[in-house]
A and B are shown apart, each in its own frame.
Chain A
Amino acid sequence: MSQIDTHHDQDEIAHFGFWLYIMSDCLLFAALFATFVVLHDPAYAVHGIKEFIDLKFVFAETMFLLASSFTFGMAILSSYHHHTKKVMFWMIVTMVLGGCFVAMELYEFAHLIHEGNGPAVSGAMSSFFALVGTHGLHVSCGLIWMLVMLVQLAVFGVNSDVQRRLGYLSVFWTFLDIVWIFVFSVVYLMGAL
């Protein structure tokens, strides 16, 4: 009993540690947002960000990310019942949706650079690429993490370690969705005005 309790306490401490990492990541994004808001002023930018914002495109990206949050939630629910196959299925769906999001973002970046609006053009573009790129990099890391979890699920099934790691990944993935709320609101919606 006491051994189980100790184990349980350690799990809680580990969970808190991961939560603190997420909180520190919030600060990283806060700094990037502050930089963007200060530098994006159209009065000083050669090409305003307004010119290339396509709201429908961004809306589709947002839907992919929101849907992936939901499907990851389904994976977590399946893991409660130790349905390894179901967890893997929902995880693959999540990866496809997340992959679509990253692909759209890469397409947008490639398009911008091709049109001559690369990160070197102005402070506004630098901060845009830094903010949106850092978010995209996080999402890509999340996808790699999911791939690792898929392998673990295939090898170990849903045991308590795998369940704990899935819990961390779910916090990470939701965090990225929350950061994206502010990216589409501040960068795209306010940028389009």
Chain B
Amino acid sequence: MSNQHAVPTNQKTLKGYIKGVMLSLSLTVVAFLLVGLHICPQYQPFLSNVWVVAIVSGLAIIQLIVQVHYFLGLNRQEGKWDFSAFLFTIFVVFIVLIGSLWIMYSLNYNMMH
């Protein structure tokens, strides 16, 4: 009985780690290749910078979800408090980032015009 309790509730598996690392690896390679080709002088850029920024951000967010799922094993059923703290943190991070950018952009705009 005590032996069972010594084992953490969110047991990880080899399969999960391999899946996580493979997905992370492919997402990273795609992001680096995309930017590498985009700035390479031999290739004609096929996307505008804004698109590249959007795709790289998207890939980063997907990789965040992959690593949180496969490496941290965070899920709604087992770690209710962990999960709500995580959502709240994302919310605050969003406010800090978007808020700072918004304020600084607006300040910059008002200084110039």
Contacts and interface: CB of A to CB of B under 8 A. Distances in A.
Interface in A53-112: 55, 58-59, 62-63, 66, 69-70, 73-74, 76-77, 80
Task: Identify which of B11, B12, B14 gathers the most chain A CB atoms within 10 Å of its CB.
Answer: B12
Interface string A8-31: 100010011001100100110011
A4 B5 contact: yes
A7 B105 CA distance: 52
A74 B17 contact: yes
B85 to A, nearest CB: 5
Nearest to A4: B5
Interface string B44-66: 00000100110011011001100
Which secondary structure characterizes the binding site on chain A?
Answer: helix
A164 to B, nearest CB: 8
Contacts, number: 120
A155 interface: no
Interface in B1-27: 1-2, 5-9, 11-14, 17, 20-21, 24-25
A169 B104 CA distance: 37
A66 B5 CA distance: 31
Interface stretch (A114-122, A129-137, A139-147, A173-181): A173-181
B31 A189 contact: yes
Contacts of A80: 7, 11
B71 A177 contact: yes
Contact of B101 (A37, A74, A164, A174): A37
Contact of A37 (B1, B5, B13, B97): B97
Contact of B21 (A7, A26, A66): A66
A191 to B, nearest CB: 10
B75 interface: no
Given A55-B36, A73-B12, A190 B6 contact: no
Contacts of B104: 38
Given A19-B82, A73-B17, A190 B56 contact: yes
Given A163-B8, A193-B35, 7 more contacts: A34-B96, A35-B100, A37-B100, A62-B32, A73-B21, A185-B59, A189-B31
Pairs A-B, 8 closest by C-beta atoms: A34-B100, A185-B60, A73-B17, A30-B93, A23-B89, A174-B71, A160-B6, A70-B21
30 contacts: A7-B5, A15-B82, A19-B81, A20-B85, A23-B88, A23-B89, A27-B93, A30-B93, A30-B96, A30-B97, A34-B96, A38-B101, A59-B32, A62-B32, A70-B17, A73-B17, A80-B11, A164-B8, A171-B72, A177-B67, A181-B28, A185-B31, A185-B57, A185-B59, A190-B56, A192-B35, A193-B38, A193-B49, A193-B52, A193-B53
